[in-house]
Amino acid sequence: MEEIKIFCAATIANISCGFDVLGLALDNVGDEMIVRKVPQKGVTITKIIGQNLPLETHKNVAGVAALALLSKVDTDFGFEIEIYKNIKPGSGIGSSAASSAGAVYGINELLGRPFSNHDLIEFAMQGERLASGVAHADNVAPALLGGFTLVRSTAPLDVLKIHTPNELYATVIHPQIEVKTSDAREILRSSVPLKTAIKQWGNIGGLISGLYTEDYDLIGRSLEDYIVEPIRSILIPAFNSVKTESIKSGALGAGISGSGPSIFALSEGSKNASKVAIAMKKVYDKVGIAYDVHISKINTEGIKKL
Ligand code: HSE
């Protein structure tokens, strides 16, 4: 194989209660990428369509992730990458993760798969370090493995794929402002009162259990974040109204997607997910904020070959 074309999924990190540990992959929102073997060693990003991002390998998350992988293998050829961006940077649905994950996945395929998808997470995390200053894995893990993922530990890396209930759908609304992950991390407190931590890890356990047992009510009850959302939600216009209206219209729960400003809701069934989209749009139409909306099944596959 000399060339591969792939779909790199957008992702929702944190999923309310699981800051930096939980994530899920979307099915119909994502970037496309072409990775090609070339005689010249190293990594060259030849094209980025859709967004104004740096082409220099060391300044581009895909380039940095690709170099991290190539530092572990000997090749007498190199790679060229074309990126077709549909995910807006700073939108909260894993734009940098899609590029980082896509680059390492594509190169690994062209090398004959010396690494497992779990191994690739570590390389893709280097792209996240460039984007946000922190090598968090909660977007790149679902982008690479698909479905819901739990980052049990980053050192050593231990990521688990969690069962996805078949009727679970995500609705995501992206108000057209940009929130940099680094800024959204800067405002967080570094310590958490024990009482708050107890409530939070109760929810993480509840959510994981609800996913495995396909208990939609339990999933809904567990989608509450006592630590990060109260602080970050001030960066997002009309956050509380969007959340309340989503739940009123049938969502199991709602919260900030990654570091925002996108807001996500999970629903049982596509009909409910569509009703939630209407409710979300109504709030922003009233306030006069432009937005994009996505309704998606959970993508249990991760990166897809096109
Ligand atoms: N867990 C990260 C954060 C995800 O919330 O900062 C960023 O998309």
What's the pLDDT band for 275 if we cut at 50, 70, 90? very high
Q: Catalytic one among 32, 122, 128, 268? A: 128
Say yes or no: 136 and 175 in one domain.
no
1 pLDDT more than 90 = no
Residue-averaged pLDDT of the chain: 97
Residue 123: C-alpha distances to residues 63, 190, 234, 262 (Å): 11, 26, 33, 26
Say yes or no: 7 and 149 in one domain.
yes
277 pLDDT more than 90 = yes
Residue 304 domain-assigned (yes or no): no
CA distance 79 to 68: 13
Please count the other Cβ atoms lying within 10 Å of the Cβ belonging to residue 294.
20
* Ligand 1 atom 3: residue of nearest CA: 259
For ligand 1, is residue 257 a contact (CB within 6 Å)? Answer: no
Say yes or no: 46 and 142 in one domain.
yes
Largest CA distance in the chain: 58
* Ligand 1 atom 4: residue of nearest CA: 258
For ligand 1, is residue 138 a contact (CB within 6 Å)? Answer: yes
Q: How far is the CA of 143 from the centre of ligand 1 (A)?
A: 14
pLDDT of residue 299: 98
For ligand 1, is residue 139 a contact (CB within 6 Å)? Answer: yes
For ligand 1, is residue 262 a contact (CB within 6 Å)? Answer: no
Domain count, the chain: 2
Check if 128 is active-site. Answer: yes
Q: How many CA atoms lie within 13 A of 180 on its CB side?
A: 9
The token pair that represents 251 in the structure block: 């969502």
Query: Strand (E) positions, 146-206?
Result: 148-154, 157-162, 168-175
Share of the chain above pLDDT 70, in %: 100
For ligand 1, is residue 13 a contact (CB within 6 Å)? Answer: yes
* Ligand 1 atom 8: residue of nearest CA: 258
Q: What is the pLDDT of residues 100-120, one digit of tens each?
A: 999 999 999 999 999 999 999
What's the pLDDT band for 276 if we cut at 50, 70, 90? very high
What's the pLDDT band for 3 if we cut at 50, 70, 90? very high
Q: What is the pLDDT of residues 137-196, one digit of tens each?
A: 999 999 999 999 999 999 999 999 999 999 999 999 999 998 999 999 999 999 999 999
Question: Which atom of ligand 1 is nearest to 97's Cα?
Answer: 8
Check if 181 is active-site. Answer: yes
Say yes or no: 157 and 285 in one domain.
no
29 pLDDT more than 90 = yes
Contacts of 245 (CB under 8 A, 6+ apart): 279, 280, 282, 283
Q: How far is the CA of 181 from the centre of ligand 1 (A)?
A: 6
Q: Write the CATH number for 209.
A: 3.30.70.890
What's the average model confidence in pLDDT over 231-257?
A: 97
pLDDT of residue 201: 98
Domain that includes residue 78, residue range: 3-162
Residue after which a domain boundary falls, among 162, 195, 221: 162
